[in-house]
Amino acid sequence: MESRLTDGHNTTTALEVRLRSTQTQLEQLESHTAALEVRLSDGEKQLDHLKTENSVQSHQLSLMESRLTDGHNTTTELEVRLSDGEKQLEHLKTENSVHSEQLSSLESRLNITHNTTTELEVRLSDGEKQLEHLKRENSELEVRLSDGEKQLEHLKTENSVQSEQISLLESRLNITHNNTTVFSSELEVRLSDGEKQLEHLKKENSELEVRLSDGEKQLEDLKTENSALEVRLSDGEKQLEHLKTENSVFSVRLNETNEILQQIKKRNSGDLKVAFSAGLTDSGSVGPFNIETTLVFSKTMSNIGQAYNQTAGVFTAPVRGLYFFSFTAADYMKGYMGLYLYRNNQPILFNLDLNDHGGYASMSNAVALQLEGGDQVRLSLPASYRLYDDSRNFSVFSGFLLFAL
């Protein structure tokens, strides 16, 4: 019995040892189970968070796909408009070439007309000279004709005298027959010469009258041709002015089309990149001022597209689009610090903070703004407010173009 009791006691001790070991293992399993439950809870939270993030990312992906579709449609429309603009440009170039050829032809015709007019002026000058010469010759002929008429009158007078002498001599005919015959022959010869000279003068006068009439007709023809040439020249000058006006209009339209095409190309190709960041100053405190003052962020860190003016502290939108702006401002003394963000002269944001502990304090804000080309954005410090910046860039102004509209 004692041996059996000893064996039972040993068995009980072994069982107690196994029980304690089992309890220890059970406690370890409970601890491990609790840890697993904590990890499982964390995993479930992470899974829920991942699901939430997945939903957000799915929504963002959907939005990006819709924006991509819209961008693709916009790109297609812009390509169509660009194609139309290029066709219009080619058409304008063709019209301009045609107008240039017409202008060249008109200039050639004007040169020919000018040369013809010059020749006509030379011919007219020659005709006037000939007319003056004919007038002088006519005056001389008139003088000669007057002299011939005087001579004829003189001859008639002499003939009358001679007739009287003949009648007187007839009574003395029988006595002086030979002398009278000779003298009569001389008179007949002189009378025949006078008549021939008179006929010759009449012929010359008729020829002069015909030549004078022809000269007057030629002069009238030259005047008519010159008037017609002046009319044609005036019409050509009017047409030339009209072509110059049309060419100017075509040039203006061509320049406008080129500008539109350049803008479309910039928007469509994505070449337009605008972004900037600038620090305020290295000198320390800025302000306070008696009046509201535009802040000039003069330390340019980047200025892609050169839309930010570091001298004036103003950003000017180069195109119509959606822009994103952000700023950080700091101070280290007790008091108020604040900022206005302006679009043109309209305040969009006002940030205010009270630094009541006297240490470094900062504030930040950001906004997305739809701007038209030429709109300006700036930061302004209200009166009696103060900021701080040094080489560590506590106060920074940034902005960039999200996309053109």
We report the CATH number of the domain holding residue 121 as 1.10.287.2610
Q: Which residue has the higher pLDDT, 311 or 79?
A: 311
Identify whether residues 106 and 156 lie together within a single domain. Answer: yes
Angle between helix 173-269 and helix 2-171 axes, rounded to 10 deg: 180
Identify whether residues 220 and 295 lie together within a single domain. Answer: no
> Does any domain span residue 75?
no
Does residue 347 have a pLDDT over 80?
yes
Identify whether residues 203 and 325 lie together within a single domain. Answer: no
**pLDDT for 148:** 64
Reduced to 3 states (helix: H, G, I; strand: E, B; else coil), residue 293 is strand
Identify whether residues 356 and 247 lie together within a single domain. Answer: no
Identify whether residues 328 and 379 lie together within a single domain. Answer: yes
> Does any domain span residue 26?
no
Q: Which residue has the higher pLDDT, 338 or 205?
A: 338
> Does any domain span residue 11?
no
Does residue 118 have a pLDDT over 80?
no
> Does any domain span residue 265?
no
Does residue 311 have a pLDDT over 80?
yes
Q: Which residue has the higher pLDDT, 298 or 240?
A: 298
Cα separation, 354 vs 361, whole angstroms: 9
Identify whether residues 328 and 220 lie together within a single domain. Answer: no
pLDDT-based confidence at residue 269 (cuts at 50, 70, 90): very low
Most confidently predicted of 183-187, 191-195, 347-351: 347-351
Return the bridge partners of 251, or none: none
Identify whether residues 227 and 311 lie together within a single domain. Answer: no
Return the bridge partners of 64, or none: none
Identify whether residues 306 and 383 lie together within a single domain. Answer: yes
Identify whether residues 132 and 180 lie together within a single domain. Answer: yes
The type of residue at 333 is M
Q: Which residue has the higher pLDDT, 45 or 47?
A: 45
The CATH number that applies at residue 338 is 2.60.120.40
What mean pLDDT value characterizes the chain?
A: 77
Cα separation, 128 vs 141, whole angstroms: 19
pLDDT-based confidence at residue 194 (cuts at 50, 70, 90): low
**Percent of the chain at pLDDT above 70?**
73
Give the closest residue to 364 by CA, choosing from 323, 400, 327. Answer: 327
pTM: 0.37
Q: How many domains does the chain have?
A: 2
Does residue 176 have a pLDDT over 60?
no
- Final residue in a domain of this structure, among 255, 283, 305: 255
**pLDDT for 173:** 56
Hey, how many other C-beta atoms are within 10 angstroms of the C-beta on 120?
Answer: 15
Identify whether residues 181 and 243 lie together within a single domain. Answer: yes
Cα separation, 349 vs 132, whole angstroms: 94
> Does any domain span residue 346?
yes
Does residue 250 have a pLDDT over 70?
no
Identify whether residues 316 and 220 lie together within a single domain. Answer: no
What CA–CA distances, in Å, run from 173 to 166, 184, 185? 9, 12, 15
For the ranges 94-98, 139-143, 182-186, 279-283, the lowest mean pLDDT is seen at 182-186
> Does any domain span residue 230?
yes
Give the closest residue to 356 by CA, choosing from 328, 375, 343, 337. Answer: 337
> Does any domain span residue 148?
yes
Backbone angles phi, psi at 4, to 5 degrees: -65, -40
Identify whether residues 171 and 311 lie together within a single domain. Answer: no
Interior/surface letters 281-309, b for 16+ CB within 10 angstroms, e for the rest? beeeebbbeeeebebbbebeeebeeebbb
Hey, how many other C-beta atoms are within 10 angstroms of the C-beta on 317?
Answer: 22
Q: Which residue has the higher pLDDT, 270 or 378?
A: 378
In the predicted model, what is the mean pLDDT of residues 371-394? 89
In the predicted model, what is the mean pLDDT of residues 249-272? 64
Which residue blocks in 172-271 are alpha helix, DSSP H? 173-269
Q: Domain limits at 247?
A: 96-255
**pLDDT for 342:** 94
- Final residue in a domain of this structure, among 224, 255, 286: 255
Cα separation, 241 vs 235, whole angstroms: 10
Q: What is the chain's alpha carbon radius of gyration, rounded to the nearest angstrom?
A: 60
pLDDT 10s digits, 46-59: 878 878 777 777 77
Q: Which residue has the higher pLDDT, 143 or 342?
A: 342
- Final residue in a domain of this structure, among 222, 255, 288: 255
Residues 6+ apart with CB under 8 A from 19: none
Reduced to 3 states (helix: H, G, I; strand: E, B; else coil), residue 332 is coil
Q: Which residue has the higher pLDDT, 325 or 97?
A: 325
> Does any domain span residue 201?
yes
Cα separation, 64 vs 71, whole angstroms: 10
